Each structure stands twice: as C-alpha cells, then as structure tokens.
Structure 1
Amino acid sequence: MSKRGDNLSNKNKRGSRRAATERSASGKSKKSSSKKKTTLKREGAPSPFWKWTKRFAVFGGVAALLGTVFLAFAVGFAARELPSFFQLKASQAGQTILVRARDGSEIVEIGPSFGEWLEFQDIPENMRNAMVAVEDKRFYSHYGVDPIRTTGAVVEGFTGARSRVGGTSTITQQLARNLFLSSNRTFDRKAREAILAMALEWKFSKEQILELYLNKVYFGGGAYGVDSASRKFFSHPGKTLSVAEASIIAGLVKAPSRYSPTADVQAAVDRAAVVLRLMKEQEYITSDQASVDVDAVQLKQQAGQNSVRYFTDYVLPQLDIILPETNAPLEVWTTLDVGMQRAATAAVASNSPDGAQGALVSLDRDGAILALVGGTDYVESNFNRATDAMRQPGSSWKLFVYLAALEAGYTPEDKVVDTPVTIDGWSPRNSNGRNVGETSLRTSFAFS
C-alpha cells in the first residue's frame, strides 16, 4: 500500500509538472504571437511625415475653399457696386492742374485732352489687335486676371530672373486702375485691382471692356483715348488709323513719355516694331503688314514748348506723395522764379554747341528751386538732364566746398595744405598729378 501510494503520488507530481510545462509553453507561445502581431501592426502604421502631409493637404484644401468663397463674395459685391457702362463712358479720366510760379503767375495748365468717343465697331480692327497683342495676348480667354502671366512673374521674382515682380496687369486690370485706383505699387492696391478687374469681367462683355479701355487709356501729351492720340500725333481722327500708326499708339501705353513720337521718333519707331512683331506672332497681321515702314508715317508738327515743362515734369509726380488720391482740379504753387527761369533757358541755349544738350539748376539757400532747365528743347527731347542724367559733378562741387569754408570763418588769406589723401580706399588726384603743399585759400580757389 505504501509503495503503490508513493507511485501514484509520483505520477501525479510528474503530471502536474507536464501540465505546468505545457501551460508555460502555451503562455510563451501566446506572448510570442502577441509580440509578432504588435510588431506587424507597428510596421504597417503611417510615418509622421505622411501624417503631416495629409494634415497640410486637408488644411490647404479647406483654406483654398474658404478663399474661393471669400473671393467670389468680394467680386460679386464689387460687381454690384460698379457704375453702369453708360456712367463709365460719361466719366472723364485725368484732372486739370494749374501750376503757378512763386509770384502767383500762371506757368502752365496741364489737363486731359479727349477726342471723339469711338464705339467698339468704329475702332479700327488693327488698333484693337495691336493693343491686345502688346498688352494682354490672353485678353479674350482670361477672367480679368491672367494666372499664367501672374505665376510666371512670381516665379521670376523668386528665382531672381527679374529684380521685382511686375508687368502682370491685364487690360482689364489696367482699366480698373485707371477708373478707380492710383498707380501706387502696394500689395493692397494690387489686390483691389485684381478684384475690380474680375468684377468688370463679371458685369461687362470683352467688347465693352476693350471699348472703355481704348477710349480712356493715357497715351501721353495729355491725350486720353485713341481718337485724341490720333489727332495729336497724326492730325486725323482715330477711325482711319493705319497699321503702322496703330502700332505706334499701342506702343505708347507702356511709357508714354519715353516712346512719344514727338519727343523721340527713333524710340517710338523701335517700340512700334516690337508691336508689329507681336501682332505677326499672334497671327493678327501677315508678314507683309509687319514689315511696314513706320519711318514713313507722317507725324503732326509740334510747336516748341517753354523749358518750364522740365520743371513741371519733376514737380508734379511729387503730388502723389503729399496729397491723398483725388481727381479734383488742382492749383499748385511752386518756388519757380519766372525771370530766373527765362535767364537760365537763355544761358543753356547760348552755351550749348549745335547738336548738344545742356542743363541748369538754380537753388535758393533753403534748397528751393528757382530755375530748372533739363535740355535745350523740350519737344526735341523731354529727357530731364537736370534731374535724371547720371554724370560726374566734376569741379562744380568745389564751389560748395569753398563756400562752406567761408561760412565756417575762413578768409581768403588763410592757409590750407594740399597733400595726398585717401578716403576709404579712394585717393583723389589733381589733374597734373602733383601737390603744391601749403597755399592760401585765394590761390587754391584761383587754380581750381
């Protein structure tokens, strides 16, 4: 009994150990399986990069949707507030500015010149095509803003291909700016310009927009609209413009003063050639029409203008800085002395050799301009050499140096020393390459 009981007890113990071993193995197996599942689950999980990419995509999509809704509301509201087509036709662009001298006398009156309003069908087709070709080749396909042109300009700005982002305005944007805005280059103004352009496209047809534009755009010399420009430059109505004449007028919009045929015939001809090339590339004209001789165009003879226009060209742009936006007539009082301006004009004319230009500026002690002449003939060349020419001042600065010395208490007999000097790596020299050492202010000035 005792032995049999011991055997049973041993069997039970061995059975218990086997069961425990099996349970242990089963537990390990389950744990191992659990680890594998966990490992597999971790391997299939998305990386943080894709998580953030997805979030940015969702946020970007929502932002784009909200932006589109906001833009649609803004454009719709602007379109509802726009004047009617007939009201815009009746409104005049530009303003009259009366410029006076320091004694109150009238110097010049500058104001807009309007010709006959030309209906869309009365504007020569070549004139319409020339303007579209040079200013906005996708005019008939965009909705006020040209995304291709805008994107290209932004890319060029970021890549450094151009020094600034510009040249992105469509014809509709230009019309919006001319009708409702100033020419300030600010982001806020460009945004309003874009919204107003889309509103114009929403409310008016392409034909109406082009009709408004061609009758209101500024072509220089006070001429607003195609008919006024045609009469000013070619002495005939705008309805009879030739291909060559249309190319000259279309080329003026970019820079009316620079490409004016009355100021620089060659510049106007060169610009017209660009317009004709673009018209040919866009298949508005044939190769024969593109090779037209714009030199043969008969320009209207212009009477000579007083040199005071150099002064007004310099002064009037400063009104944008000191005055708020306004289309009201202005009366501008200046510091110009009429007698001194007349003497300055005569001095430049008498001291400029044939074919050469000259310039003169006379300032009061407080810096006020008393006389300013930028060339010998404003009609021949309206380039202002007094304010825009980049030339070495030469010995003219010596007058200011000696004047400053006298005002500081020096006398003509005081001694100064002429020795070599170097300023930030720059070493000025006398024309003869020598230095005279100690000398009097009087002698130094005499030999300057």
Structure 2
Amino acid sequence: MYQEPFRADHMMERDRRTRRTRLILGGVLGSLVLLGTVLGVTGWHWAFHDLPAAPTSASELWSTRREPSVTLQDRDGHVLAVRGPLYARAVALDALPEHVPQAFLAIEDQRFYEHDGVDLRGVFRALWVNFQAGRSVQGGSTITMQLVKNLILTPDRHLRRKIQEMRLARQLEDHLTKTEILELYLNRIYLGARAFGVEAAAQRYFDKPATELTLAEAALLAALPKAPSRLDPTVNLAAAQARAATVLDAMLEAGFIDQAAHDAAIAEPAAPVADTSDPNATAVWGHAFDYALAEAADLVAADVPDLVIRTTLDPALSRAAHDVIETVLDEEGEAQNAGEAAIMLLAPDGAIRAFAGGRDYATSQFNRAIQAQRQPGSAFKPFVFAAALEAGYDPSSAVWDEPIDLEGWTPQNFSGGFRGLVTLQEALKRSINTVAAQVADQVGIARVVEVGQRFGIRSPLPELPAIALGAAEVNLLELTSAYAVFGNDGARREPYFITSITNSRGDILFEHVDTPAQRATTAATARSMSTMLQDVVLSGTGRRAALPGRASAGKTGTSQSFRDAWFVGYTADFTAGVWVGNDDDTPMDDVTGGGLPAIIWQRFMTRVHQDLPVRPLSAPAPRTRSEREERLAAFYSDLSASFSVILADGASPTER
C-alpha cells in the first residue's frame, strides 16, 4: 500500500510530459503550417501579384504590342518604303507550305500538339542539359510560352517571369486553339532586319511571299528566333546557314522530311537576295510618305497600330520627277539663283500619279508641291480668259493692249510696251497683262474668282483687281488640278492620293470610291481655252515646253520680282505642273515660267510619255498665223464688234 502514491505521482508526471510534448509539437506544427501559409501567400503574391490577364481571344493578340508602323505602297501594291518595323499581311496556317510551320515546330517545340502550353518534359530536359553544361544552353520554352513572353510579358529571364510565363501559357491554351496559337506565333515572331512574321521576313530576305518559301528558305527563317540580330543572314550568313542546318536535322529527326529532302536542302542552303529596298527611299518617297500620313489621319482612326497605305503613285514616274528636278537645277539653278523646284502629275481621273516636293527630303521636309502657297502670276490668266469666254467673248475677240488705270492700279506688261489691238488668243499667247486686267474688270472680279474656285482652287482668292495677274497665293496641286479641267472638256475631277488603307492583317480601313466628274464649265468653253493654250506652247511664252510630235497645252507664270516661276500644262494623257523658286522667297535672276519651269516640264513629260502612243487633244490645234494676220484678225474682230453695237443702237454706220 505504500508504493501506490509513488506510482500515481509517476503516472501524473508522465501525463504532464506527454501533454507538454504534444503542445510543443502542436505549436511547432502550427507554426510550420502558419509559416508555410505565409510563405505560400507571400510566394504567390511575389510570383503573381502583377500577373496580367490572359487574352480570351486571338484578336486581342494580333494588335497588341505593335510598334507604330506604316508601309507605303505604289498603285500596284508594291512596297515603296516602310517607317517603323516591317509588318506584312498576316498569312493563314493552311496557306503556307507544310515545311514552313514544321521547320519552326522542329527546332522550337516538337511536342507542341501534345502539351498544354508547358512541356514539363522539355523543362526538365533543359535543366539537366544546362546543369551538365554549367551554363544556359536550352530554354525549355514552348511556342505558347514564347508567344506569352513576346506579346504579354517582358522578355527578361528572371525566375518569377518564367513562372508567370508558364501559368499564362496554360491559360492561353484554355482560350485559343493550337492553330490560332501557331498562326499568331508565325505572324508575330521577330525574325531580324525589322521584319516581324514569316511573310514580312520572306519579302525582306527572299523578295517573295511566304507561300512560296522553299524548304531551305523555311529552315533559314526558323533558325532566326534564337538570336534574330546575331543570326541576321544579311549580316552573318554563315552563322544563319549553320543554324538552318540544325533546323533541317531536327526536321529529319521529327519525321517532317525524309533524308533526300534533308540532303538536298543541306547541299543548297538558302541565302537572302540582294536588298531590293530603294537606297534613295527617304529622298524620293519622304514627301509622299508625309503626305500619305496626313491624308490617312483624316480617313482612319488615329489609334490603329500599323497601316498599309496604297497610293496612286507610279514609282518610275516619281523617280523621273526627282531626277529631272535635280538634273536641271544642278545644271542651271545656281547660275540663276533658283534653289528649289516641285512637280505634280495628275491622271485624267484625278489620281496623283507622281510628284516631287523638292530636291531632297533629307535636306528639307517641306513639301513644295502640297504645302507651299505661292503667287502663280500669269499662270492664273487662263481662269480670267475662261470667265471671259463664259461671258460671251471668243478667242478672236479684240481688246486694246494699252495703258490702263483701274482704281489707281496701273498694270504693266513684262515687255514694257503695248501692242495695240490684239485678239484674246494673242493676248494669252503673249501673256499680256493689260488685256488680262481689262478683261477681268469687264467680266467682273467676282466672276473670275468664282471660275477659279469652280475649277478647283481651294485657297482664298481675294476679289481685287490684281487677282487677274495671279496676285493670290495657291499651291501646285490645286493649280495643276484646275488646269486639268481644260484638258478634260470642262469636267472637274477631285485629285486623290490614297486608294486604300489596311492594317497588316488585311482588314480594310478605307477604300477610295470613284465619284462622277463635276461639270466646271461647258465643253465648248474648255475646248476654246485648250486651243488657246496650245498656241501658248506652239508659238507663245511656253515654246520651251513643247513636246516634239505630241500635242500639248499650257501656260507660263512669273510672280513679281521673279520670286516664283511656273509652267502648268497637259496632254491627252496627263496634266503636270512645275514650280521653281526659293524657300526664303528671295528673287531669282530673271527666271520666268518660260525658262526653267518650261524646261523641267518638257524633260519630265518627255519621260512620262516615252512609252505611250501619240494621242491628240480633244480641242483642235490653233491655226498658225503671222503677226500681221493676228493684227488683221484683231482689227476685223473689233470692226465686227463695233458694227454690232451700232446695229443694236438702231443707227447706221454712216450716222456713227
């Protein structure tokens, strides 16, 4: 009985130790759970607190992260120049030869169709290879993970970014099909030389569409994603071809190609063709690019990341415009203090077929064909004479070339003298100022202004007497367009420059729609003016613009103090305008419209028409007359007019 208390105490002590141990273990376990929870939450927050949402549709990824890019095309859709990265129209997976996607799958992700966005087998294999090599030689990224890295996440190599990449890749595969993912990859992957996607790269390196890529060419493109700058075949062809051989080995291993195809592609490795981009693209197309962007801004939304602008330009004619300006000004510009020139060429439907905004875009981005507002001088007179014809004059109407005073304004002729009685046709041919001023005064300045606006001049035309001699400011585009009315039998076509605008996926954002021509004047008036303007070229101030063997019509213009010189004219095929002057508005040395502008116009239009059949103008050519015959015509016209006035007054000639 004596030992029982001792045993009881011992049992109680053991129970206490057991409870204490359990409490300690529970506390430790609880602490570990709490610590694990905290670490888990912290780790989850660390890894995913800034994780962006995975796109739920492919359309979201087609435009994301596109740097601003604009592609300028000519009238046939050929690329003239690119600003920013080179994107091309997206190409569907089923439109490509099988060996194109297979080349990328073989080297980048052979188990693409088997994994769910993350290839764990590939990840562990890459880890083992990297461990053995002691450095990173494999990445283990799937094509889906690469798409996430390029279009959603940043391209850094941190562990956290890799974890995010895996999670988003799996989410992406939940929302998109394998075809959508592979199409996005092939169209958005960077392949060097500013080219994004297989279509842009195929055009850049091989001057062909991706649908025509050979096996060797496909292997070369598939070699580039690993290091697109270092492996750029235009810079390091040997390294790119070595990597392409590795791609072909992988394609053989994957069963995509047989040994014969492999060996043939190895024997004849692909090489990029010579760079087909224009080395003078900036100088030749810079002004056109600026103009296209300005026009596009009014036609499509400003937030479109990439634009493909198809224009009305003929590249050969545009180069001819720049060549002629540069040649003529190099030959004669310095001697005559003429520093700049511009050309505008319009087709009968109003399409801007070519233009040169100046000598060199790299030197000056100011577009003298579109932006420059200068005084046209006598190049405005055809609208004065057109107003006169509409008011009842005809080309043989007689007007006195003599000193005049119009509200204190006393215009002088360029020659300084006066010819007396002349016909309207002779006055235009010789660009007689006093006659133009009188005619404008007689028909009304308001009517002259209305005719100019009706023909297409959009710049303000003040209702002042000096408007008859071109004292208002206009630009070359609108003046050239207004002259086209004479060659088009009085029909007015609005000039246009852009035929379509798309994005690189081919979605149409704008498409030009032809509109019916507007009647600016009667066909009879236009043809009478056209005959008179032919006379200017045949025997008047515009003789140096004549095109041997081809009918043409036009008019010279010179502003005050020789600050601006113009020649604007047309054939049955085109209307062209030329301006010569200095940007700082300093006078040239006696340069008139019949000098440098007429020379530039003649040389340019000769090149424009060199392969075109000869076609007559719709208006008859003027009858060649001597100066004596012209004076007689004016005399009899004046006599006839006087006789008509007498009869209208009811008196006989002898009574008057």
TM-score per shorter chain, which class?
Answer: 0.3 to 0.5
**Structure with the bigger percentage of helix:** 1
* TM-score, length of structure 2 as denominator length: 0.34
